[in-house]
Every structure is written in C-alpha cells, then in structure tokens.
Structure 1
Amino acid sequence: MAVSVTLPALGESVTEGTVTRWLKAEGESVEADEPLLEVSTDKVDTEIPSPAAGVLSSIKVAEDETVEIGAELAVIDDGTGGAEAAPAPAAEQAAAPQQPAPAAAPAPAPAQAPAQAEAAPAPAPAAPQEPAPAQAAGGAQGTDVTLPELGESVTEGTVTRWLKQVGEQVEADEPLLEISTDKVDTEIPSPASGTLLEIVVQEDETAEVGAKLAVIGSGAAAPAAPAAPAPAPAAPAPAPEAAAPAPAPAPAAAPAAPPPAPAQPAPPAQPAPPAPAAAPAPAAPAPAAAAPAPAAAAPAPAPAAEGAYVTPLVRKLAAESGVDLATVKGSGVGGRIRKQDVVAAAEQAARAAASAPAAATAAPSAGRPAAPVLEASPLRGQTVKMPRIRKLIGDNMMRALHEQAQLSTVVEVDVTRIMRMRARAKDAFAQREGVKLSPMPFFVKAAVQALKAHPVVNARINEDEGTISYFDTENVGIAVDTEKGLMTPVIKGAGDLNIAGIARKTAELADKVRNNKITPDEVSGATFTISNTGSRGALFDTIIVPPNQVAILGLGATVKRPTVVDHPELGETIAVRHMTYLTLSYDHRLVDGADAARYLGTVKGLLEAGEFESEIGL
C-alpha cells in the first residue's frame, strides 16, 4: 500500500520548509521512523522520519524545493498490498487468491503470465515477498514519500539533496533526502523499507508541505515500465529482496502471493538494475546507498567538515572508536562517510598510535608546545554552492545590521571564585545531575537574573505598531557552532531555572543541534541571546544583535593573569586571577550606553560575588 510522506508541522510560526537533502533515493528500502530526508525552515534544520517501513517508490519534492506544511514529499510502498489496485490486475486477483501456495513455485508464475515465462524463474522467488502485493495492488506507486509538516509557519520546502537514487534500497527511517526551508535544514527519513522507484521532486525544486516527493516500492527500480510509469516501478521491486530469501517467505507470502503474479509486468526489466539488487547487504547500513556508484564517488572523497551527511549510526561508531569525522574522507556518493570509512580510520589511528609512542613522549621533553599539524583544505580553489543555512544566517545578520543601530560595550570580570567553586563541585555535580558542570551555566544564571532588573535589555521594538514590548520571561538563545553553521537553540523560561536546570537544558539542546534533532520551536522565541565566543579562545567579540531582539551578550575566554586586587588585610596586591571579558552588543534605538553599562555592571557583580554554592551542592 502506498504511504504518503508529508511535511509535518515544525513550529508555531513555520508554514513551509525546504528539502535540503534526501537521505534515501527512489527504489531504496527504509524502516519506520528512520530518517528519510532533511528539511530546512527559517528556524531550524531537522530530519523527517519515515512514517512506515517499505520502499521509497517516489520522491515528490526534489532537494532545494520549498513546500508548505502538509505537502506530499514522497511515497513509500509498505509492501502490504495496495488498495489502489489497477483494473487489469483486479480481475486477476479474483483467481489469484486461490493460488497462494503455488505462487511460491516457479510453475504458477508462467501459468498466470505466459508472456513472462522466460522471466518466471526470477519473479517466482519474488512472489513470496510481502512487498510484491503492493505492486500487484495496482497502485504500483508503492509508498509515497511526502513533505511532512516542519512547523506551524512552514508551508513549503526545497529539496537540497537526495541521499538515495532511483533503484537503490532504503530502510524505514533511513535518511532519504535533505530538505531546506526558510527556518531549518533537515533530513526526511524513508517511511518504509524497499526500493526507491521514483523521485518526483528533484534537487533544488520546491514543494509544498504534503507534496509527493518520491515513491518507494518493493522492487529494484521502475525504469522498466514505460507504459505504466507508476505501476512498473513498484512491480520489479520484490525481485531484489526476494533473491535470497525466496524459499523462507513463501509461506508468509501465501496470502499476498496472488497479487504479485499479475503485477509482474516488468520482470524482464529485472536484469536492468542488478547493481542495486545485488547489494542487499548494504541495505543494513544506511550509508549503503552509495553502492550504485562507488566508483564514481571514490575518486573525490570529501571530509565530513564540508557538510557531507553522516548517519547517526556512523556518528555513534565514530564516537565509540574515538574517530574525528572532520578528518575522515568519505568514500560514498558525494563524499558521504560510510561505516567502512570510520572503521578504516580507527584502524589507521591505532597503527599510528602504536608506532608513535616514542615520538609522543619526546615532544614534551623539548619544553615547548608542539606546532599544530595543518593539512591543506580540499576546498582551496573550489567554487561551491552556498548552503541554504549559510544563506539564511547571512540574510538574518544583514537584516539585523540594516534595521538596528548597533554598538557594543565591554567589561572585565574576575571569575576566580566561580572557577574554584566549579572545580570543587564538578565531579559530584556530574554524578548527581548526569551532565558536566561547565562555566556556562553560571554566566547564563547571572545574565538572566540581571535581565529581571534591567527589562530594557530584554525587550523588542514593534516598528509597525510604534510600541515596545518588555518581556516578563527570559527566553535565552544559546549560540551553538555546528558543521553546517551557527544555530541558536532557546532555553525557554531560563529565569526560572537553577544552575543544574540550565546545565541540563543547555546540554540537551546542544546535542539536538549537533545531531540534527532540533525542532523549529526549539530555535525560536528568544528574547535575549548569549554567544560563547571564548570557547575558541577569543578574548571578546563585537557580536551582532539578532533580529527582533535588542541585545546579545558575548562571553570571552577566561584566562589567568596577574591582577591588582584589594585584599582586606594586605591592601592592594598583585595576584593571579581568572579574568574574562563580557561584551554586550545592543540596539541603540532602545538601549542607551548607560543602560548597557548598568546591565553589565549587575552581571559582573553577580559573577564576582559567586553566591551559587547552594545551587551546585556545596
């Protein structure tokens, strides 16, 4: 039966989404809830999971196409037999049901379709497969993959990349394509396992939410049925999967076998896609989609840092093996990193570690830090298409600069007390709360407490109405650096959380962002933003205030340096202290320099007092 994959609601204000990448190609198998494609909206990039297991029979929205919420993205054939039976097969099905048992044998096949006698041996094993009935059911459309809802205000999405090609196998929930919207880039998973039979929406095409993107069937591919574009693609599907398991499925297929026989008009085309059919093994690992064209992709592997899609399975394997994906060159289509690439990288690292202990111990003896090992980036000399998320970030930043009168104020803060407090509590805190205690929650806590006393910094200018909204809640955006670009998930109601609550929420959101699990609602609604540019060693930064906000706080690197302190007994003395810079960029249309200085002064006072013992268990 054909299952439609639609663009789901992705947030209160999201009305459309853009398909940025298909993680499955037409003809590939997909499991239920497996990532099928990535969709981008103006708020977040996210993956769309498959609503059912089967074969991606048709892609309705190509990569880079934008569609509205509810639009059909693709079609998945779940292999249960379809209600959309074609007229011809319908008549045959009346008699076919009586042949379930014989269907498994080669003899019945030729009996039902004499013209296919020569192809009977191949279809015979396929007949037992459950997906076959879907083809026989007449829809031959398989399972539709549609553009799901990606947020309340997201109405369309653009297909940016298909991760599977027609004829390839796909598992349910396996990433099938990438979608980009004006709010987020995300993957759309296959709604069913099977073969990607048809891609309806090509890359860079835009489709509305609910639009049909592709079709997944239970066979190899659909090029063999020119006369019946929809039915033909699905019909051959069973053959690839049935090639080996034919004997076992026979009994299970008994009830469903009848339909397959009539629906086998395309068995002669079966030989056409031997490559995908011969690669059932890769169907287990999601990245196996690269099988159809490994030779073409191998010469130009690309590092993960360039944005090549990495499946959760490969990420997990890399994390367990201690492999940095940014250093791995993918051998899959388009430079995608496969399981084999991670395994090879891990083995190579192990060999290098075994042969380099002497060199490693010799380095410290020199008494100076080793120079970083640099490798020329493969991006040098290339002209590439600007990623949609990069364009969205750029558009938002330019809009903010053009609409606001921005400037920055900086203060220096002594955070020695906090750093010492954290050092004493971090082990017990991690054991008790399940997350690490970094300095970040202390800064967030101080910032939101100060916002309550200085609402002018936690406000919004409503230009159309000529009014100012002073918020009574602190929804803090936390800028997170990702491979695809800057994302800003939002801690809603941060002013009501303690240090532990802020630490847990920050870790949760950062993990979602880096693993493409963030939703549009989780990256929207910020009333104030914090950017930790010091995490990369920057002393301070003149950050840009995001649109619809009037201020953003930048955290500089915390460094030890000699500072004059006023000791109660020794008077003024020089001591080594933990020092950092805080930068507040603000919109001068609403916030004056004195307002900014007062706000920063309050944050500075809270941090230097460091009265957080009760919140961290001290």
Structure 2
Amino acid sequence: MAVSVTLPALGESVTEGTVTRWLKAEGERVEADEPLLEVSTDKVDTEIPAPAAGVLASIKVAEDETVEVGAELAIIDDGSGAPAAESAPAQAEAPAEAPAQPEPAAAPAQEAPQQEAPAAPAGGAEGTDVVLPALGESVTEGTVTRWLKEVGEEVAEDEPLLEVSTDKVDTEIPAPTAGTLLEILVGEDETAEVGAKLAVIGQKGAAPAAAPAAPAPAQEAPKQEAPKQEAPAPQAPSAPAPQQVTTPAPDPAPAAPAPAPAPAAAPVTPAAGEADAAYVTPLVRKLAQENGVNLATVKGTGVGGRIRKQDVIAAADAAKQAAPAAAAPAAASKAPAIEASPLRGQTVKMPRMRKVIGDNMMKALHGQAQLTSVVEVDITKIMRMRAKAKDAFAQREGVKLSPMPFFVKAAVQALKAHPVVNARINEDEGTITYFDTENVGIAVDAEKGLMTPVIKGAGDLNIAGIARKTAELAGKVRTNKISPDDMSGATFTISNTGSRGALFDTVIVPPNQVGILGIGATVKRPVVVDHPELGETIAVRHMTYLALSYDHRLVDGADAARYLTTVKQILEAGEFETEIGL
C-alpha cells in the first residue's frame, strides 16, 4: 500500500516551503515518525516526519525545489521485499553452475577465489540477501568501510549491519531482516555497485555459510599444490600437503578442526589483495580532516597498506596523548591556537536560511531610517546577586540563572513606560499601532544562522518565567524543533551580542518593528563611583553597554535616550531579590 508524503501546514501565513535536504534515499527503510526530510520556509527550518513505516519508493521533489503546502513530496510503500525474494532463485542458479567450471586445471590460481563464494550457497547458505541500496540520485557505487557484525553473529531487523562510504555521503546499512549473518561477500575497503549483494542473512541459529566452504576446496587440493599464494584459504583443513604450511603457517595450527577455519576465511582474503594504497575513502578522509590527522604520516593496515578508519582513530589518539607533553612549554604564551577554516578557497551555494536572513535585513535597512544610541550600565549589584542565588535558583526552577533574564525584565518594564519603542508603523494604512503586550524576540546563534524565537507576553513574566522560556526556545532552535508559531508575533527584539565578546553592536531593527536592544559584553574595569560617605572614588565594577537601534521615522533620539535611561535605572537599582529567592 502506497502512502503519500505531503508538505504540511507550517504556520498561519506559510504557503510554501523549500526542500533543503532528504534524510533518506530512495530504497531506504523508514519508520513511522522518523525524520524524512528538512524543509525551509521564510520563517523556520523544520524536519518532516514519515507518516508511516515502509520503504521510500519515490522522491517527487528534489532538494532546493519549492512547492506549495499540500504538495506531494514522496511515496512510501509497505516494503514487503517481494523483489528481493524473486532475485534469490536467480542468484542460486549461478553458484550451481560455478562448481563445474573449476575442473579444468588451466588456471587453478584464479579459480580458487571464485569457488569460495558459491560454496556457501551450495552448502545451504540460503537466506535474505543484503544489497547495496540506492544512496542518492547520482551515486552508482559505494565502499564498505566497516562491518559492524561478523559471520555467525545474530542481527535484529533494521539493526546497523555495516558502514558504507560514497562520494556524497557516509551511512550505515541496516539489516533487512532478523537472523544470523551467514556470509560476507564484500570485504572492508572493497567497492561495490548499487544493487550488489553484500552479505546473506539466514534463520536465527543457523550455521554460518562459510563452514561448508572448507570441504569444497579440499577436493581441489591436488590441483592447487603448485600455486602457494592461494593456499591459506582453501587448504587450511587439508593436512596432507606439508609444503603448503610454509606460507600460511599461523593459520593451519588453530584451524585443525574443519569448522574453525570458516570464520577466518573472510579476514584472510584482504591479505592476498593487491595494493591500491593511494585510494582513501571519503569517510577516512573526512575523519582525518576532523581530527587534524595528516594521512601522509599514517601507516595503513588495510588491503595493500590502504588507510582505514581505525588507522586514523589510532593516529588521532596518539596525537592527543602526545599533546600534554607539548602543552607545557606553550603554556607560557597562552595564545589560542587558530586553525584554518576548511571553507578557505571554496565557493559554495548560499544556504536558504542565510538568504532569508539577508533578504529580511536588506528589507529592513531599505525601508527604515535606522539609528543607534548607546549607554553604559553598571550591573555590579546584579552580578553579585546572581552569584548568591544561582545554585538555589537552578535547583528550584530547573534552569540556569544567567544575566540575560535580568536584561529582558528591565527591557520589558521600560517598554510599558515608553510604548513608542514597542510599536509598528502600518505604511499602507498610514497609522501607528502601540502594542499593549510585550512579545520579545530573543536572537539565538544557531548552526544554520541567526534565529529569533519569541517570548509571548514577556511583560507578565518574572525572572524565573523569563529564564525558563528563554531556555526552552533556545533548546528548540538548537535541536531544530522550533515551530513557525514560536518565531512569529514579536513586537520588540533583544540581541545579546556580548555573548561572543563584542562590547556593543549597531544591530539592525527587524521588519515590522521599530526597536531592538543590543546587550554588550560585561567586563570588569575601574570606574569613578560617587560614594555617599567616601565621595568620588575609583572601584572595579561590572560594566556593560546597551545599544538601542530604532526607526527614526517614529522614534526620535530623545525617545531612545529616555528608554535607555529607564532600562539603566532598573538594572543599576537591581531590585530583583524577591524574584530570585533572596
């Protein structure tokens, strides 16, 4: 049964969305409510879950395409696996014919490896094939980077079975069914085409398919005495030929019982592989770049000296262990280590979120007469108060007490006294709306770009309520669970530009608002203080800058100064003891 995946309504005013990324490829299995794709609108980026479990049969809308709400995005079928069942007999016929061909002794060295694969099916390795699924529209092959299970181990349905790397993505391939891993047909660091058979899974408790493979090569032993290179795999159970022990000496000793060498057959094959050490899989290259490992200095343990994932991890661990010894002489300078960004020298496509932010900022700058006023505020009392109350506050309220809620509280209290800063110009109507509620947008620095979720009714909340709501919205942004409703309805915005060390910033007023408050970094510095008993004296104080950007079409410089002065007075008075439990 086919299930249609459609673009849902993503907000009251959202009529269309752009597919930014498919999280599943055609042919992959998805579970109900599992994230299927990412969609971007002019308000929010969000994930669209799968409406039902099954196999992603068809993708109707490609990445970077824009469609209207209700449009069909993809088709999910029930994933019954009928095509896999039909292909099983066809593949069983090929092994049946293969054993007849090794009888001519023309090329025994080349025939032996080909007989190992068919031996298992002939010996009863019947089960479900694990094939390489389609991993993207233009992806035709993939490299097996790691098997997560070994022959003979049991696997559950949809349990990760192996890791595959392509030129576009690194991903895990799940087991199509539950059972025992009977046979691995493609070794690590080997490349296979899409649709190729990677392994066989049989009934739970079944013997590994590699076990019956030993007797088949035993019959070929008299014909293969000359080529010693192929001796380790087929002739391990054959004791009568003493000359063959010279090359594979470590293998025959533990492999005296016939069943024992079967699991060892798969790992032995890479040892006979021929070198292509220059090739490094995308997964290994990416891992090396993330860990700062120079691949030229890594000795590979894979086929022909090829560098594997484990080699990079070992090199990274060794570098970390050596780092403390080198850190001692470097401690004197304390200069931060600055690494070059991988973006240097690249030309990349502009992300949709970045484009939306840019369009909104240009619209705001071109449509408003913007100006910025700055005041300096002494928040020493607030910082001392916070230090006393933060531990008890965190235990009581369940969130950390940062300085941010104090600034929000002071800002919304001042908005009630200065509504000209909490207003909107209705250009089409030639009117001004002065809001009777304070819906404050909080700028959050997210991985995809700046986002501004809204604290609705912030003027009615206390310090604890503001802290909880701020933490909740910031968490939604960083986990990509923010909704369009969380992003709409702001009447005023606050941006904590000082969280990254900036003293102050000339922030841009968002569209449909007339003011935004920027909070600078809090720093300790000597300040002249007028003490009632000591007179003018110099003391170390916690100081910060507040910058108000405003639309000069409605807000005059005097209005901005009066608003900032009120915020300054509230913060420096610091009368928040009751709200934070002191």
> Given the two structures, how large is their TM-score scaled by the length of structure 1?
0.61
Task: State the Cα distance separating 1:246 from its structure 2 match.
Answer: 4.3
Which position in structure 2 is the counterpart of 1:28? 28
Q: In 1, distance between residues paired with 2:309 and 2:564?
A: 46
Answer whether contact 1:389 1:484 (CA < 8 A) is retained.
yes
- Paired amino acid for 2:10: L
Which position in structure 1 is the counterpart of 2:359? 395
Answer whether contact 2:287 2:312 (CA < 8 A) is retained.
no
Task: State the Cα distance separating 1:125 from its structure 2 match.
Answer: 3.8
Task: State the Cα distance separating 1:408 from its structure 2 match.
Answer: 0.5
- Paired amino acid for 1:301: K
The one of 547, 552, 555 equivalent to 2:516 is: 552
- Paired amino acid for 1:435: V
Q: Would you say how many aligned residue pairs link Structure 1 and Structure 2?
A: 430
Task: State the Cα distance separating 1:553 from its structure 2 match.
Answer: 0.3
Answer whether contact 2:410 2:570 (CA < 8 A) is retained.
yes
Q: CA 1:457–1:53 in structure 2 vs 1: closer, same or farther (change >3 Å)? A: same
Q: In 2, distance between residues paired with 1:573 and 1:538?
A: 28
Q: In 2, distance between residues paired with 1:68 and 1:303?
A: 42
Task: State the Cα distance separating 1:493 from its structure 2 match.
Answer: 1.5
Which position in structure 2 is the counterpart of 1:606? 570
- Paired amino acid for 2:282: A
Answer whether contact 2:287 2:309 (CA < 8 A) is retained.
no
Which position in structure 2 is the counterpart of 1:95? none
Q: In 1, distance between residues paired with 2:316 and 2:81?
A: 49
Task: State the Cα distance separating 1:32 from its structure 2 match.
Answer: 2.2
Q: CA 1:344–1:563 in structure 2 vs 1: closer, same or farther (change >3 Å)? A: farther
The one of 483, 487, 500 equivalent to 1:536 is: 500
Gaps of 5+ in 1: 83-88, 90-102, 130-160, 169-191, 195-202, 204-217, 220-235, 251-293, 305-324, 332-340
Task: State the Cα distance separating 1:247 from its structure 2 match.
Answer: 2.8
Q: CA 1:510–1:343 in structure 2 vs 1: closer, same or farther (change >3 Å)? A: farther
- Paired amino acid for 2:25: A
- Paired amino acid for 2:73: L
Q: CA 1:126–1:16 in structure 2 vs 1: closer, same or farther (change >3 Å)? A: same
Q: CA 1:117–1:522 in structure 2 vs 1: closer, same or farther (change >3 Å)? A: same
Task: State the Cα distance separating 1:296 from its structure 2 match.
Answer: 6.2
**Structure 1 residues 96-118: Cα deviation after superposition (integer angstroms, max 9, x where no partner):** xxxxxxx99x9x987xxx99977
Give the secondary-structure state (helix, strand or coil) at the position aligned to 2:7. strand
Task: State the Cα distance separating 1:31 from its structure 2 match.
Answer: 2.3
Which position in structure 2 is the counterpart of 1:355? 322
Which position in structure 1 is the counterpart of 2:384? 420
Q: In 2, distance between residues paired with 1:7 and 1:453?
A: 44
Deviates more, 1:369-378 or 1:590-599: 369-378
Task: State the Cα distance separating 1:356 from its structure 2 match.
Answer: 3.4
Q: In 1, distance between residues paired with 2:56 and 2:205?
A: 21
Q: Work out whether 1:497 is the aligned partner of 2:461.
A: yes
Q: In 2, distance between residues paired with 1:12 and 1:167?
A: 43
Task: State the Cα distance separating 1:33 from its structure 2 match.
Answer: 2.0
Q: Work out whether 1:616 is the aligned partner of 2:580.
A: yes
**Structure 1 residues 50-89: Cα deviation after superposition (integer angstroms, max 9, x where no partner):** 222222111111000111112111112233699xxxxxx9
Q: What are the within-5 Å matches in structure 2 for residues 129-278 of structure 1?
A: 244-247=200-203
Give the secondary-structure state (helix, strand or coil) at the position aligned to 1:13. coil
Q: In 2, distance between residues paired with 1:576 and 1:511?
A: 35
Which position in structure 2 is the counterpart of 1:595? 559
**Structure 1 residues 330-349: Cα deviation after superposition (integer angstroms, max 9, x where no partner):** x9xxxxxxxxx999998767
Which position in structure 2 is the counterpart of 1:301? 286
Give the secondary-structure state (helix, strand or coil) at the position aligned to 1:8. coil
Q: What are the within-5 Å matches in structure 2 for residues 385-464 of structure 1?
A: 385-464=349-428
Q: CA 1:394–1:588 in structure 2 vs 1: closer, same or farther (change >3 Å)? A: same
Q: Root-mean-square deviation (CA), in Å?
A: 4.3
Which position in structure 2 is the counterpart of 1:516? 480
Give the secondary-structure state (helix, strand or coil) at the position aligned to 2:578. helix
Q: CA 1:376–1:390 in structure 2 vs 1: closer, same or farther (change >3 Å)? A: same
Q: In 2, distance between residues paired with 1:345 and 1:560?
A: 44
Give the secondary-structure state (helix, strand or coil) at the position aligned to 2:286. coil
- Paired amino acid for 1:511: G
Q: In 2, distance between residues paired with 1:361 and 1:506?
A: 40
Give the secondary-structure state (helix, strand or coil) at the position aligned to 2:41. strand
Q: In 2, distance between residues paired with 1:344 and 1:472?
A: 63
Answer whether contact 1:56 1:193 (CA < 8 A) is retained.
no
Q: In 1, distance between residues paired with 2:567 and 2:355?
A: 34
Answer whether contact 1:490 1:525 (CA < 8 A) is retained.
yes
Q: In 2, distance between residues paired with 1:164 and 1:420?
A: 60
Task: State the Cα distance separating 1:475 from its structure 2 match.
Answer: 1.3
Q: CA 1:41–1:404 in structure 2 vs 1: closer, same or farther (change >3 Å)? A: same
- Paired amino acid for 2:520: G
Task: State the Cα distance separating 1:11 from its structure 2 match.
Answer: 1.4
Answer whether contact 1:404 1:588 (CA < 8 A) is retained.
yes
**Structure 1 residues 308-343: Cα deviation after superposition (integer angstroms, max 9, x where no partner):** xxxxxxxxxxxxxxxxx8x789x9xxxxxxxxx999
Give the secondary-structure state (helix, strand or coil) at the position aligned to 2:527. strand
Task: State the Cα distance separating 1:45 from its structure 2 match.
Answer: 0.8
Q: In 2, distance between residues paired with 1:31 and 1:240?
A: 24
Answer whether contact 2:128 2:200 (CA < 8 A) is retained.
no
Q: CA 1:442–1:15 in structure 2 vs 1: closer, same or farther (change >3 Å)? A: same
Q: In 1, distance between residues paired with 2:315 and 2:442?
A: 37
Task: State the Cα distance separating 1:297 from its structure 2 match.
Answer: 3.2
Answer whether contact 1:560 1:579 (CA < 8 A) is retained.
yes
- Paired amino acid for 1:530: I
Answer whether contact 2:454 2:488 (CA < 8 A) is retained.
yes
Q: Work out whether 1:487 is the aligned partner of 2:451.
A: yes
* Greater relative CO, 1 or 2 (CA 8 Å, sep 6+): 1
Q: In 2, distance between residues paired with 1:34 and 1:403?
A: 42
Q: CA 1:447–1:363 in structure 2 vs 1: closer, same or farther (change >3 Å)? A: same
Answer whether contact 1:28 1:164 (CA < 8 A) is retained.
no
